[in-house]
Amino acid sequence: MAKHSKKKNSSVSNVRDFVTVIFARDIEQARQCRKLLQDNEIPAVIKKDPTAGQVGQGIAVMVPEDFLDEAHVLIESQSAYDDFYDLAFEDDESPEPFDTDLTDDDF
C-alpha cells in the first residue's frame, strides 16, 4: 500500500514535467479529453491558465512529455471518429431531390 502512495506523490511532484497536448474550448471538453487519455493509460491533468483570454485557450490538457506523441495520435483519431459520426448521423432537413410521391400516372 505504501508503494502506491509513493507513486502517487511522485506523479504529483512531476506535474511541472507535463506538456500541453491540447487546449480545450471549455471545461467539459477538457474533462472528456483527460478521460480518453486516462482510459488509454496516459496520465493527464487539466490546467486552467487564468491569464489566457483568447477563445480556444486557457484550459490545457497536459501529459508527460514521454506520452505526447501517443496522446496526439489518440486525440486526433478520436476527433476524426467524432467528425465522421457527426457527418454520418447529421439531421439533414433539406428537401428530397426528387418527389417520391410521383407515379407513372402523374406524367
Q: Is the pLDDT of residue 94 over 80?
A: no
In the DSSP assignment, the letter for residue 89 is T
pLDDT of residue 13: 42
Query: What's the pTM?
Result: 0.60
- For residues 22 and 63, what is the distance between their CA atoms, to the nearest angstrom? 10
The DSSP H or E segment spanning 16 is none
Q: Tell me the CATH number of domain 15-86, given options 3.90.1170.40, 3.40.50.1980, 3.30.70.1530, 3.90.1640.10.
A: 3.30.70.1530
C-alpha cell at 101: 410521391
| Percent of the chain whose pLDDT exceeds 90 | 42
pLDDT of residue 23: 92
Please state the rounded mean pLDDT for residues 78-99.
63
Query: Where exactly are the structural domains of the chain?
Result: 15-86
